[in-house]
A = this chain, B = another copy of it.
Amino acid sequence: MTERSPLAVPFPLLPPIAGARPAVARARYKEWDRCDLTFVALDEGTSVAGVLTNSKCASPEVEWCRKALTLGSARALVVNAGNSNAFTGNRGRAAVEALAARAAAHLGCQPSDVFVASTGVIGVPLPIDKAEAGLDGAFGAAECGWLDAAEAIGTTDTFPKGAVQRAVIGDRAVTLVGIIKGSGMIAPDMATMLGFIFTDAAVEPGFLQQLLNHANRRSFSCITVDGDTSTSDTVLAFATGKVGNAPLASFDDPGADAFAAALDALCLDLAHQVVRDGEGASKFIEVQVTRAITDGSAHRIAMSIANSPLVKTAIAGEDANWGRVVMAVGKAGEPAERDKLSIRFGNTIVASNGCAVEGYDEAPVAQHLKGQEIEIGVDLGLGAGRATVWTCDLTHGYISINADYRS
């Protein structure tokens, strides 16, 4: 077992969400004695939205969810940990269908109301006997808390990850909770990892999807651990409506702005926790790119920096090697002018106008780099485009986790 990340944050107190009842069970997908199947029963009337990986080799679970999302309603979520079921051909597809059918039979709903997500090794079909036994066990089990669910969906995660936000819609206070797993193979492409959000608010599925897309663009799509996009990235948001607010259908509805802001904050919190549990991470790094020609260009430059092994190892070594940031800007394939560029570590500008600043004093930068929260700023001096992304450093821990064992 890998040690708990030094960047770990405590699991917050997450309240129950009316209309959503999580339960966990032991499917024993691997040789371990822990819960690895999570089942969340959802009341009738629950709307759903989701963002899924753009991988060309997406898992059958992702394909299943993509299809089910077109209907906009949900009655259950099933999450398997320890086996991603990706790249398993017809057997993998059959396993997802069987699992959805069995959950539907338990609940008396359509299989298309059942959302399925799996995470773990690629290429091994999900053992349907274990999955069904686990599902039956979870269906018969008592409702659990979100912490149990957050632990049950994890794989190489070193700490359980969750977040909560509240908003007021009209005269009702609504609550949003989210749980997420992810540590390696993190470079979400429009979606990410496995993340699940539950709210008691009533939100029309189309509008919920619009809000989730927006939140995703500024959170899950702005993090990377290793630049490796998973075949199973899935974020689903379920709105049970149990709080009884007038359903949100557009930004014209009272409370929609507050709900959107809460969802944005929730997704950002969850995304940051994934970075904090990045494999081998010892530093949490925020990369801010400003004055690029467009936001998209700023994002691609920020990701080029955040994915550079040389930048990430320099931060691991607490080395103020800003030349590697220059390199990463230069290779991004985006408009940049060397002689207009300025670079900042923490609050200290280290280089500007194409060279190191006059009388550059490394002391405050060295001090900043000794901390666990690192900030790299790049000002391109070209336009109004900006982006912020988050990553972690690249350490011996990453190599140990991914090379020193046989999968």
Contact = CB atoms under 8 A, between A and B. Distances in A.
Interface string A60-94: 00000000000000000000000010111111100
A402 B228 contact: no
A56 B337 contact: yes
A87 B323 CA distance: 8
B230 A314 contact: no
A313 interface: yes
Given A309-B227, A399-B396, A125 B319 contact: no
Interface string A376-400: 0000000000000000011110111
Given A87-B326, A122-B327, A330-B56, A319 B228 contact: no
A254 interface: no
B92 A355 contact: yes
Given A324-B122, A326-B86, A309 B228 contact: yes
A396 B230 CA distance: 24
A227 to B, nearest CB: 7
Contacts of A57: 326-327, 329-330, 336, 338, 341
A355 B231 CA distance: 14
Contacts of A122: 323-324, 326-327
A18 interface: no
Contact of A403 (B125, B313, B336): B313
A92 B356 CA distance: 11
Interface in A208-264: 226-231
A355 B87 contact: yes
A330 B404 contact: no
Interface in A15-57: 53-57
A295 interface: no
A289 interface: no
A354 interface: yes
A228 B329 CA distance: 10
Given A310-B228, A402-B314, A331 B189 contact: yes
Contact of A330 (B90, B226, B229): B229
A132 interface: no
Contact of A56 (B317, B323, B324, B334): B334
A8 interface: no
Contacts of A398: 309, 313, 399
A314 B339 CA distance: 40
Interface string A147-164: 000000000000000000
A228 B316 contact: no
Nearest to A228: B310
A29 to B, nearest CB: 15
A121 interface: yes
Contacts of A318: 406
A112 B301 CA distance: 34
A58 interface: yes
A187 interface: yes
A71 to B, nearest CB: 24
Contacts of A353: 89
A128 to B, nearest CB: 15
B394 A403 contact: yes
Given A55-B330, A184-B310, A351 B87 contact: yes
6 contacts: A55-B331, A56-B330, A56-B332, A87-B326, A226-B310, A399-B399
| Cβ-closest 3 pairs across A and B | A122-B323, A57-B330, A89-B355
Interface of A: 53-58, 84, 86-92, 121-125, 184-185, 187, 189, 226-231, 307-310, 313-314, 316-319, 321-324, 326-339, 341, 351, 353-356, 393-396, 398-400, 402-407
